[in-house]
Structure 1
Amino acid sequence: MTLTTLQLSEPYGTLAFRDAGSGPPVVLIHGVGMQSAAWMPQIEALSKTHRVLALDMPGHGGSAPLRSGAQLPEFVGWLQAALHALGLKRVSLAGHSMGALIAMGFAATHRAQLDRVALLNVVYCRSPEARAAVEKRATQIRDGVVDLETPLARWFGDTPTEQTARAQVSGWLSKVSSEGYGTAYDAFARGDTTYADKIGGITCPLLALTGSGDQNSSPAMARAISDAAPLGRALVIEGHRHMVNLTAEDEVNTALQDWLKTGQERETQ
């Protein structure tokens, strides 16, 4: 599967995306430093029953960056422009990490365009200590100091599966543009509360999924989001960390296949 590119409306530039399968559309958005290829296990599984479009986030893969200093609402605006350019009026939407923040923001502000939303390893209302740490890292990245080993050590254990995934993720992180990475990470660092008070207005089925060992996108955060959403559900995958879609692909694929069945009676009305 190769990347396809599409010109978006101003000021968003080029969108790169992977497109597989046919049927009801499912849109996937990856996290900071990744690219659409990070969704390959889910693309392969979900494209058997759905049309799956995995987008390269701005400044990642083949997509043009947003302006320096862009914050989460501008990433949500980019997603709206992407769906419009793709001709998608209503979708199921899943995001991982920063992609989950974008998906949550979109669900909170564009409810009529979603059948359901899934938030994988999403951050929500960090503690003051955690917020200070992530904002410090954002400043370091903007200043050109990029430490890849610390997040990799936090995200992965020592099993062969995790080490294979770690090598993939390390490769993607090493290739991302410094401009795109810095802008997205700053928005990620400051975006955990942007739409927090709007979750109660997300009326479609919502799945908040994370790994039991993810300290920064914790099970408590997933449960708090699911509790706030009228049709929310939390799922914690035991023994896994932040890159759960790669290290527990079978469990995540099953969860997303089940998620795609939720609310189907609403779609036919």
Structure 2
Amino acid sequence: MVVFSSRRLVSGFLFLIACGPAVAGDYLEVEPGVDIYFEDQGSGSPIVFVPGWTFTTRVFEHQIKAFSEAHRVISFDPRSQGRSTVTLEGNNYVTQGADLVKLLAHLKVEKPVLVGWSFGCLATWEFVKTQTTAAAAAHMCIDLSPTPMTGNEGDWVEGSIAELADFYGGVQTAADQRAVINWYADEIMIEQDYTPELSRWIVDQSSQSPPWVAAAYLASGTFSNYLDVARDIDAKLPSAFVVADHWAETATAYLAKHAPNSQVHAFGGHMMFWEYPEKFNPILAGLIAKAE
């Protein structure tokens, strides 16, 4: 039997009163037995943040805090990621986009600014594909090509078939998945000193998705092609791409050809929005201003 001292209980209770809830989190059942965790904070014109492959709302901590002061800010853990239900079905970006449609309908959100990070862009593009550009106010994609592996030679893609096959092979066990995330975060995502504390924070998010989920989403993402949707957004909505420095030359040339009206900003690594919010947030604020 565990015994708690009254002093410990009282001090903990007072701590909760002083700090209050950290987030305004809740759940939506998008299909029988599948609950999606979401956060809905602030008021004003809506902004929706969609995390990337195996990640959670926590990656947007610097954006949620900043933009919820003047906007309604919504984010969610996609199915089988973070705090959402791990399910055998629907671990692909067509379904993730459909879940996003259901979530925004449930919250009565109209014409949001859509912000996707990495494979999260596939969900926002899927949303626009099914709901049309009339359902969004603006779109930002953070560091992903609309053709991750399906572009032509010389296009902006995530890597060669051999490289992506190696990545896919590296997420088949829990231990390998942790190792891959650590390598990717250190080499591609983060420019600052990759401390053990930062490693635990990143790996903890990704490892909430079992390896078979990570593999399913990886295959779905790499074989996606949303170029027509990205072109439609480019023609009809305020649109921006923020890309990592290592993609700058390739991505800029690709987007000049396929999305010539979109803003393109290049800096930092794959997670530049988290690492450099003082640079990223004004770019997003500028896009929002164009949509209002």
- The answer, yes or no, to whether TM exceeds 0.5 is yes
Match of residue 2 from structure 1: 23
**CA shift in 2, pair 1:102/1:45, >3 Å:** same
User: What's 1:204 paired with?
Assistant: 237
Letter of the aligned partner of 1:183 in structure 2?
A
Q: Distance in 1 between matches of 2:210 and 2:141?
A: 25
1:106 aligns with 2:106: no
Report the number of matched residues: 256
Aligned-partner Cα distance in 1 for 2:141–2:68:
19
Q: Distance in 1 between matches of 2:77 and 2:105?
A: 16
Deviates more, 1:9-18 or 1:243-252: 9-18
Tell which deviates more after alignment, 228-237 or 113-122.
228-237
How much does 1:176 deviate? 3.6
Report percent identity of matched pairs.
Answer: 17
Whether 1:232 and 2:279 are equivalent positions in the alignment is: no
Distance in 2 (CA, whole Å) between partners of 1:223 and 1:90 is 30
1:260 lines up with 2:282 in the alignment: no
Residue 222 of structure 2 aligns with an amino acid whose one-letter code is A
Q: How much has 1:92 moved relative to structure 2? A: 0.9
The verdict on how the C-alpha distance between 1:148 and 1:199 changes in structure 2, with shifts beyond 3 A counting, is: closer
The Cα of 1:46 is off from its aligned counterpart by: 0.9
CA distance in 2, matches of 1:18, 1:46: 13
Any idea what SS the aligned residue of 1:58 has?
coil
Q: Deviations over 1:188-212 (max 9, x none)?
A: 2222xx2123322222111100121
Q: 1:3 to 1:128 in 2, by over 3 A?
A: closer
CA distance in 1, matches of 2:122, 2:187: 20
Aligned to 2:276: 248
Structure 1 segment 127-142 matched on structure 2, within 5 A: 127=157, 130-142=160-172
In structure 2, how many angstroms separate the alpha carbons of the residues matched to 1:108 and 1:153? 34
Deviations 1:89-148 (A, max 9, x none): 321110100112221232344212100011011134345952332244224424654233
Q: 2:99 aligns with which of 64, 75, 78?
A: 78
Aligned-partner SS, 1:133: helix
**Distance in structure 2 (CA, Å) of the matches to 1:227 and 1:108:** 21
CA distance in 2, matches of 1:53, 1:9: 16
- What RMSD over aligned residues (CA atoms) do the two structures have, in Å? 2.7
SS of corresponding position for 1:122: coil
- In 2, Cα distance between equivalents of 1:50 and 1:226: 31
Structure-2 change in CA distance of 1:128 and 1:49 (3 Å): closer
| One-letter amino acid of the counterpart of residue 118, structure 1 | M
User: Which stretches in structure 2 are left out of the alignment for 5+ residues?
Assistant: 1-21, 150-156
Indicate conservation of the 8 Å contact 1:27/1:93, yes or no: yes
Alpha-carbon distance between aligned partners in 1 of 2:139 and 2:201, rounded to the nearest angstrom: 26
The residue type equivalent to 2:60 in the other structure is W
Q: Are the counterparts in 2 of residues 12 and 78 from structure 1 also a CA contact under 8 Å?
A: no
Partners of 1:222 and 1:80 lie apart in 2 by 30
Aligned pairs for 1:51-90 (under 5 A) are: 51-65=72-86, 67-68=88-89, 70-90=91-111
Answer yes or no: is 1:115 the counterpart of 2:129. no
What secondary structure, in the 3-state scheme, does the structure 2 residue paired with 1:31 have?
coil
Q: Which runs of 5+ in 1 are unaligned?
A: 265-269
Structure 1 length-normalised TM: 0.82
List structure 1 runs of 4+ shifted beyond 6 angstroms. Answer: none
Residues 132 and 56 of structure 1, relative CA distance in 2, 3 Å threshold: same
Alpha-carbon separation, structure 2, partners of 1:43 and 1:236: 22
Residues 106 and 176 (structure 1 numbering): CA distance in 2 closer, same or farther, change over 3 Å? same
With the length of structure 2 as denominator, give the TM-score of the two structures. Answer: 0.77
Deviation of 1:88 after TM superposition, in Å, equals 1.4
Instruction: Tell me the secondary structure at the aligned position of residue 8 of structure 1.
Output: strand
Is the 1:138–1:186 Cα contact (8 Å) retained in structure 2? yes
User: How far did 1:236 drift?
Assistant: 0.9
Give distance in 2, aligned partners of 1:210 and 1:112.
Answer: 26
Residue 188 in structure 1 maps to residue 188 in structure 2: no
Structure with larger Rg: 2
Q: 1:243 is aligned with what amino acid?
A: M
